[in-house]
Amino acid sequence: MSVPSLRARVRAETAEEIRAIAKRHLATEGANLSLRAVARDAGLVPSALYRYFPSRDALLTALITDAYAALAASAKAAEAAVPRDDLRARFLALSHGVRSWALDHPAEYALIYGSPVPGYAAPPEMVGPASEVAVTLIGIVFDAAGRGLRPTIPTRPLPAATAADLRRLLDKSPGPKPAWAEPAPESVIAIGFTLWTQLFGLVTFEVFGRLDDLIDTRREYFEHQILVMADLAGLDAGPAPGDG
């Protein structure tokens, strides 16, 4: 079992090629992915595809997994390339990372952030990849809170029930707990959710054409709206370089 057999390797290769072809079809044809068409392009008979994916939905699921991973990779790479002190720049980079991947892969983006597919229920192992961007974003607002940055708006008190929801979420998540007491971590998460919603709202509107005939300067508009949210959350540049 040390080295995978030739059969196993060529099998993995074929599966990978099928995924690639399916992604190409998705990009050109749109959401209606035809199993038979990708089989044709793969030089296979339709039923042969069932040796690799038990159903069309399974192939779709594989593409969804890949899409989540690729989106998160784009977003996290952009965010990681920025000095960690500069909270505002980290949020901006993360946002642009999400947006640019989405614009480059609109069909795949629609697959993960568009209408849920009818009978499809996300397998439990998908919640990780699916929430990577949100987790990274929450990490930024947590860092900000840890550094004493405060929202520019007086923090609106959370409804008690929702605060309990968010606290439960915090307790369930791994990693060290926040060390500060003020503001309450729940309200920091709530602000993170605000940014998260706005970020994907902006991207979804742009990718799905809701800005057509309204906004021509897409990138400027996006950046402006993101910066407004950074203002709202009180995300600010860190101390001048050479301070630590």
Residues that bind a second copy (CB under 8 A): 29-32, 110-111, 114-119, 127, 152-154, 156, 158-159, 161-162, 164-166, 169, 190, 193-194, 197-198, 200-202, 204-205, 208-209, 213-217, 220-221, 223-225, 227-228, 231-232
Q: Which of 92, 22, 73, 71 is nearest to 207 (CA)?
A: 71
Residue 192 CA to residue 136 CA, distance in Å, equals 10
Nearest residue (CB) to DNA, 31 versus 164: 31
Kindly indicate which of the ranges 54-62, 137-145, 154-162, 208-216 contains the residues binding DNA, using the contact rule CB under 7 A. 54-62
Q: Which of 94, 116, 120, 122 is nearest to 195 (CA)?
A: 94
Q: Any contact of residue 3 with DNA (CB under 7 A)?
A: no
Q: Which amino acid is at 45?
A: V
Tokens of 82: 């920025």
User: Can you tell me which of 31, 50, 156, 219 binds DNA, judged by CB under 7 A?
Assistant: 50
Nearest residue (CB) to DNA, 18 versus 112: 18
Q: Any contact of residue 169 with DNA (CB under 7 A)?
A: no
Give Cα separations from 103 to 52, 98, 131, 170, 213 (angstroms).
Answer: 30, 9, 19, 32, 17
Output the CA torsion 91→93→98→104 (10° steps).
Answer: 160
Q: Could you say which of a second copy, DNA, none residue 227 binds, taking C-beta under 5 to 8 angstroms by partner kind?
A: a second copy
Residues that bind DNA (CB under 7 A): 5-7, 11, 14, 33-37, 43-48, 50-52, 54-57
